[in-house]
Homo-oligomer: A and B are copies of this chain.
């Protein structure tokens, strides 16, 4: 059976596959930081060269931001689009890393072999599971599997500003029967998941300005407006005492969890205490009247992701700063309208602004939530294939993270998405010491071979 030959090939080639991934991880493609512009492009070029080396028609498409990489296998079969992203998160606080984030290595972590480095799990390691499955397939079959188009973007970690225009401009040849997206996690160790609902994401940066320059708090303190104080009041008012978001109209379009889904989630036996204790916490801190899985998967949130103002370095400086700023992200569900929420949020902030203060807003992405149609038979086929690879059967799950691409694929390309990934909760994505289990990489590659064998 040729699937077995492909799986054997993947096993035999594992070390070489890991070496290729390490090369990819060495490129610091931090998309949100303009200082890494050329490195981010270098990651795109590396991917293009890999795909061309596999015999694809591969090319780079320039955009106003970071480039898109596309490639086509050109074979027969069901047209499928595979999506991943080659950009990574910033690495600060750098001092908490146990190694240079861009000098990756295979390490032993309490008996588990892991690939350590920025992007190992999000998303370079994940996208390479698919590329390596294709490589093994070709080496056994002499050609790449089916009729696959690859689409890799370099702005996923910075709001994907070029994605919608690119999809709109290339609608005709990018619309396929189904999209495969590898940017999510296992439900639990040994148990894969297929994501059927994803939260959307709305990012806002708020800059409060008062005096025309930084002031001495001795000369002006008590008399002049303090923008940190104003900002704190605004941020403190974002939630009520029950943890609900106070932005007017915020809950418009938030669906109740269906009884079916609630029953299925209850059956997953999710252990919130264990989940939180892994990161040093003990109690759910969200809406008081919701279960932990609801708080994570099906309820919208408002989170403050960053704040700055005045002197926060070593020592002390009695300054009254001229401005203070915060970055806030809203996770959205159901039919919440990101644009309406943005306007309502901004109006609420303006309303709270005292005299002498001004506000500037900077939007960072506005993607609605997505729900997948699991009546498409590819879902059950993939679930079966995954069950053959992993110790436990695959579950249909929600995901707290936002992968706006699934929404865009639906709205712009009229294409369903199947989200399958092999990350683990302790991968520390977006944090210091990001890692990806070698098992995730290895079984992930084998999983794609099995899935392609079923659906391509």
Q: A226-B285, A285-B356, A305-B320 are in contact. List 16 more A-B contacts (CB 8 A).
A: A33-B315, A203-B316, A210-B281, A211-B280, A212-B281, A218-B331, A218-B401, A222-B286, A222-B301, A225-B285, A228-B307, A229-B239, A232-B304, A304-B309, A306-B321, A316-B327
CA distance A284 to B225 in the complex (A): 7
Interface: A236 (CB within 8 A): yes
- A93 CB to closest chain B CB, in angstroms? 8
CA distance A292 to B157 in the complex (A): 48
How many protomers of this protein does the assembly include?
Answer: 2
Q: What is the 8 Å Cβ interface bit string for chain A, positions 278-298, against chain B (1 contact, 0 not)?
A: 011111111100001001100
- A96 CB to closest chain B CB, in angstroms? 7
Partner of A308, one of B32, B232, B307: B307
Q: Output the nearest chain B residue to A363 by Cβ-Cβ distance.
A: B316
Q: Which of A241-292 contact B (CB under 8 A)?
A: 272, 275-276, 279-287, 292
Q: Contacts A283-B356, A295-B222, A354-B285 known; A213 to B89 CB distance under 8 Å?
A: no
Q: What is the 8 Å Cβ interface bit string for chain A, positions 307-334, against chain B (1 contact, 0 not)?
A: 1111111111111110011110101000
- CB of B303 within 8 A of CB of A221, answer yes
CA distance A284 to B224 in the complex (A): 6
- CB of B33 within 8 A of CB of A313, answer yes
- CB of A279 within 8 A of CB of B159, answer no
Interface centre among A89, A185, A364 (most CB of B within 10 A): A89
List chain B residues, Cβ under 8 A from A300.
222
CA distance A295 to B219 in the complex (A): 11
CA distance A276 to B224 in the complex (A): 7
- CB of B311 within 8 A of CB of A305, answer yes
- CB of B310 within 8 A of CB of A307, answer yes
- CB of A283 within 8 A of CB of B229, answer no
CA distance A344 to B323 in the complex (A): 29
CA distance A355 to B231 in the complex (A): 24
| Pairs across A and B, CB under 8 Å, 28 listed | A32-B317, A33-B314, A89-B317, A90-B313, A93-B214, A159-B316, A203-B318, A211-B281, A213-B428, A213-B431, A217-B430, A218-B401, A222-B287, A222-B295, A222-B301, A223-B276, A223-B400, A229-B235, A232-B236, A276-B356, A283-B356, A303-B320, A305-B318, A307-B307, A307-B308, A307-B312, A307-B324, A316-B327
- CB of A90 within 8 A of CB of B311, answer yes
Partner of A325, one of B226, B306, B312, B425: B312
Q: Which of A74-121 contact B (CB under 8 A)?
A: 89-90, 92-93, 96
- A231 CB to closest chain B CB, in angstroms? 8
List chain B residues, Cβ under 8 A from A312.
306-308, 325-327
Interface centre among A90, A96, A301, A327 (most CB of B within 10 A): A327
